[in-house]
């Protein structure tokens, strides 16, 4: 039994940043992430339960952490040492230690999980992703499970969770399908803003594909204009087409498609009209700038992919009254939507490769090069070990 | 005395035959005993006193009064001229258009005509750059007329400056440039490189609107145009154009047509070996060929394009005739055929053709994949009279790199056409039904056509329709040496070598299939019996 632990070690953090800049994912072998013997965490309160992890995915935010590129913004929202992993399917441990119900974890550590009363205004209305108390209460700071020293994370054989974080996995779901519930919930949250007008999804990694899947599974009835998806690799293009994109193209080809579809004129690099809704699932300076170039006046750029430090020319935002709106995490309702989306599109096949925890450097290298290697989701498989 | 064209039966002693491959060439060994090569006639003698011949034509027109008697003070005179799409390659200066227009302007000045407009009759082609106008017209004409706004380019989308002349008995609306329509006299200055051009087509396409052009530039008409270069009565396109010509003659302004023909002396040294027959190549020609191909293999494609497009052809005028459009064009056709016609007996199972770096729609630009199709199936396949060179259901093999490369300034709608339309369908009829309107009415394409140097948004459709008859006729089309994905997008079959292509073709036409190679350069029209 073992776990991966991310510690506060500035020197190693710096090495990870250098290594990650040279080869994405290389921060795993030189940085502050280490494989350690598992140890049983104390339950924060008697309400909490123990989980035995079955599978845990590797997310883009995990990779940015490992390669040292995550924003300093998160520093106060993380407590060290912690075990990463927030895309989790696990068994609840019965009091006698035997495996109980199979659950997916809602990793957000909101007021309820932190024992905070009264609930903050956001939690009161169920918008736990906007909880105002993520660094407070009886738990150490932690945006989510997987970033908090007290809860553990999915990259370990065992962890703890509050009952409010548990969503039962349908019996007909494989573990591969279940490990996608959390990222699909993110996508479902993004898809809720889809209006059916011209929409561009930038990026066809896991998040881009799942967002597309969530739109076509839940909002297809309102679709009355093309959905354009940019994808870099052949497998991503194939999957985007399969999941219902009207147009799948390379990033540099996208403005032409949008221009044509919206009968737009062009000044400089800027479309005069453009897509009503641009969903940026990359979150880089380039992708956001491109989103601003193709979004319609008064339209919205929705930032689903986690951005870090970006540099943007915002004149067009001012001139065209466009909006950039963040899109973070999910509510409990999004998890139930995610289950429907996964079932409808049979998304379990998007888990391309699984690794044992001990092979974590290979797993992370694979995840960091997923698109190039024809993969979508890479996960740790902790079953039977 | 130039030698006529002829058909060479390939035997074991026949040397390898030169094929164009875009901005390069290759030598291909054709199978002995079942292959033949059609060589064009050698270039005819050029007129020695070209300016004298032009003046003679203007003073002695066919079925019309001499030009000076038609010119009078206070009249509105419009001189329209062919655009940059021909000749190919561009002529050495002075261009035929310059010579003819200067002669016309001298007569107009002598007659006291001062309301003279010069219009580039470009139809839906791209606007010419200043350097192209200067090359075609000369600096004197350009500097005299352009600064005063009296030299400009036809705009098929300027609806305030279009006028309807009338409608044919088939319901085709003839809508042309308003200035031309309201003139006392239009003088049209042609360069008739091929038999397709000239006659009533000059004004009814070059000065027409999209609405007018769409009557004959459509899949149905072009599938029934057999061929573009052959007898007029076998061409639905020319039949339609001639109907419009009748409307123009009956209800439009007076027209003084000037048509000129060129010989086929197309390439200057050191590329003059291209026009020679391979077994007549000297040691120097062979060395030049080898050095050229090896150098071009190492030359960046942009530089290679620049080298080729900067080339100026030594071709010169072989005839000039003026006057009534029908009378003039009849003589022109005889002159074109005198230069280009080759008697050929019987059709072939496989037709091979090398596709060069240029076609009428990419002067000084990129021969994009759509234009490769257009050049192969639209132009070279149509270089026949009576019957196609290849039998129905036969195979057409072209050689070209068929790179996925476009000039975004000249061909913006071509890029979208390739990505969007060809990804959906390669059927001319289906794309016409599903996509043409969107492209024709796209405001951005209109803007680029009207203010930049872009072909009209609908032009890639027309380029594709140009090959409609060839597409319908051929059982299979193979491109040797082309980018496989691009070739497949065109709906064709890629092959690495000519031998591979023959092997692929054998699935369609069998192992003992006859092969005919259309030798280029120069231009020829096969009169197939």
Query: pLDDT (tens digit, 9 = 90+) per residue, B92-140?
Result: 999 999 999 999 999 999 999 999 999 999 999 999 999 999 999 999 9
B27, burial (CB in 10 Å: exposed 0-12, middle 13-18, buried 19+): middle
Beta carbons of B420 and A260 less than 8 Å apart: yes
| Residues in chain A within 8 Å Cβ distance of B437 | none
What is the tens place of the pLDDT at every residue in A135-187?
Answer: 888 899 998 999 999 999 999 999 999 999 999 999 999 999 999 999 999 99
CA B159, B164, B167: angle at the middle one, nearest 5? Answer: 140
Domain regions of chain A by residue span:
2-182+331-381, 194-326
pLDDT per position as a tens digit, B4-52: 999 999 999 999 999 999 999 999 999 999 999 999 999 999 999 999 9
| CATH for A2-182+331-381, options being 3.90.470.20, 3.20.20.60, 3.30.390.30, 3.90.180.10 | 3.90.180.10
How many helices and strands (H and E) does chain A possess?
Answer: 14, 17
ipTM over 0.90: no
Cβ atoms of B36 and B350 within 8 Å: the answer is: no
Tell whether the model's pLDDT for residue A78 goes beyond 80.
yes
pLDDT at B193: 92
Boundaries of every domain in chain B: 6-39+269-310+345-528, 50-262
CATH superfamily, with its number, for domain B6-39+269-310+345-528: LarA, C-terminal domain (3.90.226.30)
- Provide the phi-psi class of B283: left if phi over 0, else alpha when psi is between -120 and 50, else beta: alpha
- pLDDT tier, A385 (very low <50, low <70, confident <90, very high otherwise): low
Q: Which site among B405, B406, B420 would you substitute to test the A interface, given the most A Cβ atoms closer than 10 Å to its Cβ?
A: B420
The mean predicted confidence, pLDDT, of chain A is: 94
Give me the mean pLDDT over the A248-265 stretch.
93
Q: Element (H or E) spanning A362, and its range?
A: helix A360-368
pLDDT digits (tens, 9 = 90+) for A85-143: 999 999 999 888 788 899 999 999 999 999 999 999 999 999 999 999 888 888 999 98
What is the percentage of chain A residues whose pLDDT exceeds 90? 89
* A260 chain-B contacts, CB cut-off 8 A: 416, 420, 438, 442
**Is A263 in contact with B415 (Cβ distance < 8 A)?**
no
CATH T-level topology, domain B50-262: Rossmann fold (3.40.50)
Torsions phi, psi of A102, nearest 5?
-90, 130
At the second CATH level, the architecture of A194-326 is 3-Layer(aba) Sandwich (3.40)
Output the pTM of the full model: 0.84
pLDDT of residue B521: 86
Average pLDDT rounded to a whole number, residues B501-508: 96
Q: What is the DSSP letter of A115?
A: T
Tell if the CB–CB gap between B419 and A249 is shorter than 8 Å: yes
Q: How confident is the model at residue A33 (pLDDT cuts 50, 70, 90)?
A: very high
> Which whole number is the average pLDDT over B312-338?
96
Shortest alpha-carbon distance between residue B495 and chain A (Å): 23
Residues 197-256 of chain A whose Cβ lies under 8 A from any Cβ of chain B: 247, 249, 253, 256
Q: Pick the residue with more confidence: B311 or B522? A: B311
Number of inter-chain CB pairs under 8 A, A vs B: 22
pLDDT of residue B231: 87
> What pLDDT was estimated at residue A329?
94
CA pseudo-torsion sign B5, B8, B14, B18: positive
> If we measure between CA atoms, which residue out of A315, A326, A316 comes closest to residue A296?
A316
Can you give the length of chain B in residues? Answer: 529
As a whole-number percent, the residues of chain A with pLDDT over 70 amount to 100
Does the pLDDT at position B275 exceed 90?
no
């Amino acid at each position: 039994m073992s776990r991966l632990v991310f510690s506060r070690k500035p020197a190693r953090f710096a090495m990870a940043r250098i290594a990650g800049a040279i080869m994405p994912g290389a921060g795993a072998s030189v940085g502050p992430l280490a494989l350690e013997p598992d140890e049983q965490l104390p339950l924060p309160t008697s309400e909490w339960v123990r989980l035995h992890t079955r599978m845990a995915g590797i997310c883009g935010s995990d990779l940015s952490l490992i390669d040292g590129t995550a924003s300093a913004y998160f520093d106060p929202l993380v407590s060290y040492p912690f075990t990463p992993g927030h895309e989790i399917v696990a068994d609840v441990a019965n009091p006698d230690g035997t495996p109980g119900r199979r659950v997916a974890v809602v990793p957000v550590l909101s007021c309820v999980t932190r024992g905070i009363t009264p609930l903050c205004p956001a939690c009161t209305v169920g918008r736990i992703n906007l909880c105002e108390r993520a660094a407070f209460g009886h738990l150490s700071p932690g945006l989510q499970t997987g970033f908090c020293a007290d809860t553990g994370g999915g990259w370990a054989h065992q962890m703890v969770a509050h009952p409010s974080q548990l969503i039962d996995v349908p019996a007909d779901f494989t573990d591969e399908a279940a490990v996608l519930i959390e990222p699909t919930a993110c996508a479902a949250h993004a898809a809720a803003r889809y209006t059916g007008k011209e929409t561009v999804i930038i990026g066809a990694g896991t998040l881009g594909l799942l967002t597309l899947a969530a739109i076509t599974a839940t909002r297809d009835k309102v679709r009355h204009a093309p959905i354009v998806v940019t994808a870099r690799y052949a497998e991503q293009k194939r999957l985007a087409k399969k999941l219902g994109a009207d147009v799948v193209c390379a990033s540099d080809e996208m403005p032409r498609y949008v221009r044509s579809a919206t009968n737009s004129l062009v000044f400089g690099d800027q479309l005069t009209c453009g897509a009503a809704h641009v969903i940026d699932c990359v979150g880089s300076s380039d992708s956001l700038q491109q989103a601003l170039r193709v979004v319609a006046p008064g339209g919205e750029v929705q930032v689903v992919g986690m951005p870090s430090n970006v540099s943007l020319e915002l004149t067009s935002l001012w001139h065209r009254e466009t909006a950039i709106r963040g899109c973070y995490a999910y509510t409990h309702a999004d998890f139930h939507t995610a289950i429907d989306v996964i079932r409808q599109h049979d998304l379990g096949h998007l888990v391309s490769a699984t690794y044992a925890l001990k092979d974590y450097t290979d797993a992370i290298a694979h995840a960091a090069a997923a698109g190039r290697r024809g993969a979508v989701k890479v996960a740790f498989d902790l079953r039977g070990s | 005395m130039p030698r006529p064209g002829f058909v060479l039966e390939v035997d074991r002693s026949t040397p390898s035959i030169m094929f164009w491959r875009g901005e390069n060439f290759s030598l291909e060994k054709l199978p002995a005993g079942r292959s033949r090569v059609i060589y064009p006639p050698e270039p005819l003698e050029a007129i020695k006193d070209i300016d004298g011949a032009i003046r003679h034509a203007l003073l002695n027109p066919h079925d019309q009064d001499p030009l000076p008697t038609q010119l009078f003070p206070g009249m509105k005179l419009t001189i329209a001229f062919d655009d940059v799409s021909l000749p190919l390659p561009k002529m050495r200066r002075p261009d035929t258009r310059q010579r003819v227009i200067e002669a016309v302007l001298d007569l107009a000045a002598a007659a006291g005509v001062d309301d003279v407009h010069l219009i580039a009759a470009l139809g839906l082609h791209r606007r010419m750059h200043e350097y192209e106008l200067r090359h075609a017209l000369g600096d004197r004409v350009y500097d005299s007329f352009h600064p005063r706004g009296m030299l400009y380019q036809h705009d098929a989308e300027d609806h305030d400056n279009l006028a309807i002349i009338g409608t044919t008995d088939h319901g085709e609306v003839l809508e042309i440039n308003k200035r031309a329509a309201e003139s006392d006299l239009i003088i049209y200055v042609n360069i008739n490189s091929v038999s397709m051009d000239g006659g009533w087509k000059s004004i009814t396409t070059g000065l027409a609107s999209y609405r007018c052009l769409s009557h004959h530039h459509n899949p149905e008409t072009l599938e029934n145009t057999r061929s573009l270069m052959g007898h007029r009565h076998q061409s639905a396109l020319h039949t339609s154009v001639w109907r419009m010509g009748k409307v123009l003659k009956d209800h439009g302004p007076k027209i003084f047509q000037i048509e000129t023909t060129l010989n086929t002396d197309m390439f200057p040294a050191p590329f003059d070996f291209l026009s020679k027959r391979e077994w007549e190549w000297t040691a120097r020609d062979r060395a030049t060929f080898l050095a050229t191909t090896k150098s071009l293999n190492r030359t960046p494609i942009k530089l290679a394009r620049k080298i080729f497009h900067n080339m100026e052809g030594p071709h010169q005028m072989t005839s000039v005739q003026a006057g009534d459009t029908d009378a003039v064009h009849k003589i022109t056709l005889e002159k074109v055929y005198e230069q280009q016609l080759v008697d050929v007996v019987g059709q072939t199972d496989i037709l091979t053709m090398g596709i060069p770096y240029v076609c009428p729609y990419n002067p000084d630009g990129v021969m994009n994949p759509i234009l490769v199709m257009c050049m192969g199936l639209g132009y070279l396949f149509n270089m026949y009279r009576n019957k196609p060179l290849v039998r129905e259901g036969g195979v057409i093999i072209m050689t070209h790199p068929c790179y996925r490369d476009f000039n975004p300034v000249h061909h913006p709608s071509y890029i979208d056409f390739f990505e969007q339309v060809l990804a959906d369908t390669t059927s001319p009829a289906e794309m016409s039904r599903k996509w043409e309107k969107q492209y024709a009415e796209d405001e951005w394409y209109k803007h680029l056509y009207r203010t930049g140097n872009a072909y009209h948004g609908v032009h890639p459709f027309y380029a594709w329709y140009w090959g409609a008859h060839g597409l319908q006729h051929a059982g299979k089309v193979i491109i040797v040496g082309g980018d496989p994905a691009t070739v497949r997008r065109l709906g064709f079959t890629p092959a690495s070598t000519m031998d591979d292509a023959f092997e692929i073709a054998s699935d369609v036409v069998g192992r003992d299939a006859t092969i005919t190679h259309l030798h280029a350069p120069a231009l020829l029209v096969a009169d197939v019996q």
